Amino acid sequence: MYDDILVPTDGGEGFDAVLDRTTEIAPDDGATVHVLYVVDDRAFLTLDNEMKSEVLEDLQAEGTDAVRTVAAELEAAGLEAVTAIRRGTPADEIVAYAEAEDIDVVTMGTQGDDYTQNILGSTAEKVVADASVPVLTVDLS
């Protein structure tokens, strides 16, 4: 059913619930899970070039650690993992990656007290609205 699953991560806490759902929906025979970290370039647009370079380097390192950690957990669960780091607006990059890599489903975390808060105004809301594939959101709060 799902041969290629996209799991965007921001390296935050509570991601185990997303990984649990991802492994539940992954078929036993050959699913590939794509782990994506997006360096949010909105985080440093107003900085001078020297500061921008430092922030970018820190975010790249954070992203590398995040995708490696998630990939290791997926591989321990018997799934093939592919990692990627992109730079841009997170929701836009998630949707673009899903299209470019022929992803079947996106699993991602949300935070809030109820479904409306989980989605409203968040990266997940934009991905749900813009993705051409199903998006499974998992409450991390």
Number of domains in the chain: 1
- High-pLDDT (> 70) share of the chain, %: 89
Render pLDDT for 67-99 as a digit per residue (tens, 0 to 9): 999 999 999 988 999 999 999 999 999 999 999
Reported as a pLDDT band with limits 50, 70 and 90, residue 57 is confident
CB 140, CB 111: distance < 8 Å: yes
Element (H, E) at 122: none
pLDDT of residue 120: 44
Mean pLDDT of the chain: 87
pLDDT of residue 83: 98
Which residue range(s) make up the domain with 123?
Answer: 4-139
Q: Can you tell me the mean pLDDT for 102-107? A: 96
Which residues, including other chains, have CB under 8 Å from residue 58's CB and lie 6 or more apart?
none
The CATH code of the domain that includes 59 is: 3.40.50.620
- High-pLDDT (> 90) share of the chain, %: 55
Closest CA to 57 of 27, 87, 32: 87
